[in-house]
Structure 1
Amino acid sequence: MIQIGQTAPDFEADTTEGRIRFHEWLGDSWGVLFSHPKDYTPVCTTELGTMAGLMPEFAKRNVKIIGLSVDPVDSHKGWSKDIEEVTGHAVNYPMIGDPDLKVSKLYGMLPATAGETSQGRTAADNQTVRTVFVVGPDKQVKLALAYPMTTGRNFDEILRVIDSLQLTSAKKLATPANWKPGDKAIIAGSVSDEQAKTLFPQGWDAKKPYLRYVEVK
């Protein structure tokens, strides 16, 4: 599996919106790559539609969305009709076709021994291809989450994590458990009290010398 802090592997692939090179497609944006083990699977159908409905929220955060399923692009296009019918949201982001399993292997979602074709493979064969990667504008992986096939992904949580990542990449802060935008953050441990006086002149609430809560403006 790809690790946090690692450069997201670049690749070329066919998608429902044409052929792309991943890093070039991402440009200066943040990105979410989320993968699926098979087209026409029930939980993934709900996920793809939910993501489409949330696209304005991701766009506000300068985040591009791209999906992946191991089946060919032509299959994705047929599946998209079902997704719109079931969820009310048409897929409005590219879907990568990965029939040769190259991208799935590149990202460590399938072993090298998985073969070279999606043909004949079931969703159960590909059950590890259910991962969310958040990639920063620097092309580094900021988050990697793997889900079982029976549990739908919580995209509100993905948005919350992106809000935290964007805040903490811009300021010397961290976010506590269950943080959401508007809540107090934590001054990073690498910041001394003297530095904090300059960075956070509004002051802070020190629960412990190493745990300093601050209002975020």
Structure 2
Amino acid sequence: MTTRFTAAIAALAILAGCASAADAPKVGDEAKDFELAALGGEMVKLSKLTASGPVVLVVLRGYPGYQCPLCTKQVGELIGKADEFKKAGAQVVLVYPGPADKLKEHAGEFVKGKDYPAHFTLVLDPDYTFTNAYGLRWNAKNETAYPSTFVVGTKRKVTFATVSKTHGGRAKTEEVLKAIPAK
């Protein structure tokens, strides 16, 4: 089997039963485990991260033909509060979805010139495997994913969830910080 065919089969297995934003994780749900490659190539697995503390999971729009200015602003605000996330013991995982072709290149453009703290990781979601599995695929012309933010506790329990059906309407950084479970 080719790698592409194997990846397609795996994606279909993950997607079974998960088709719309109504299926996105909600407060109290167990977040589905996933493993995605970071921009640097290292693999990031949710269950491994939550074993050591809470995770703030931010789903960006990726590259819908341009670098989303609202995503850029949101990530800037999160980085601006990096010390508070660190104090809370939280890892911040930024999901950058899109077609596999040129995804790494576009993600590289997104992070260019930004200084990411060690507890922030940008992961790639090629061909929307994660986005679809989480019910966050915004399947319209020039769209990629619903901008979303989740706080996932140590047992992968979702303690905060915001899914925006517009480009705006994103979770405020202060709300996210308040939703991080105490150590």
Give the TM-score normalised by structure 2. 0.72
Preserved CA contact (<8 Å) 1:14 1:20? yes
1:43 counterpart = 2:74: no
The one-letter amino acid of 2:154's match is P
Preserved CA contact (<8 Å) 1:43 1:151? no
Q: What are the Cα deviations for residues 57-115 of structure 1, in whole angstroms up to 9, with x where unaligned? A: 01101111000121323321221125x3xxxxx2332111112101001111127xx5x
Preserved CA contact (<8 Å) 2:148 2:171? no
Match of 1:27 among 48, 51, 65: 51
The residue number in structure 1 matching 2:105 is: 74
Cα distance in 1 for partners of 2:155, 2:50 equals 10
Match of 2:157 among 123, 131, 140: 140
**Shift of the alpha carbon at 1:42?**
0.6
Which sections of structure 2, spanning at least 5 residues, go unmatched?
1-23
Residues 22/152 of structure 1: CA separation in 2 closer, same or farther (3 Å cut): closer
Preserved CA contact (<8 Å) 1:73 1:95? no
Preserved CA contact (<8 Å) 1:30 1:137? yes
Percent identity between matched residues is 20
Cα distance in 1 for partners of 2:81, 2:108 equals 20
The residue number in structure 1 matching 2:82 is: 55
Cα distance in 2 for partners of 1:52, 1:38 equals 18
Cα distance in 2 for partners of 1:152, 1:144 equals 10
Cα distance in 2 for partners of 1:28, 1:146 equals 25
The residue number in structure 2 matching 1:150 is: 168
Cα distance in 2 for partners of 1:29, 1:15 equals 19
Which sections of structure 1, spanning at least 5 residues, go unmatched?
85-89, 115-120, 171-217
Q: What are the Cα deviations for residues 166-199 of structure 1, in whole angstroms up to 9, with x where unaligned? A: 3xxx8xxxxxxxxxxxxxxxxxxxxxxxxxxxxx
Structure number with greater Rg is 1
Cα distance in 2 for partners of 1:24, 1:152 equals 26
Give the secondary structure class of the aligned counterpart of 2:112.
helix
Cα distance in 1 for partners of 2:50, 2:104 equals 20
Preserved CA contact (<8 Å) 2:38 2:124? yes
Give the TM-score normalised by structure 1. 0.62
The residue number in structure 2 matching 1:64 is: 91
The residue number in structure 2 matching 1:7 is: 30
Residues 144/152 of structure 1: CA separation in 2 closer, same or farther (3 Å cut): closer
Cα distance in 2 for partners of 1:44, 1:80 equals 11
Q: What are the Cα deviations for residues 100-134 of structure 1, in whole angstroms up to 9, with x where unaligned? A: 101001111127xx5xxxxxx62xx22x5211110
Which aligned pairs between 1:1-217 and structure 2 lie closer than 5 A?
A: 1-17=24-40, 18-39=42-63, 40-71=67-98, 72-81=103-112, 84=114, 90-92=115-117, 93-110=120-137, 114=139, 122=142, 125-126=143-144, 128-147=145-164, 148-151=166-169, 153-162=171-180, 165-166=181-182
**Shift of the alpha carbon at 1:36?**
1.1
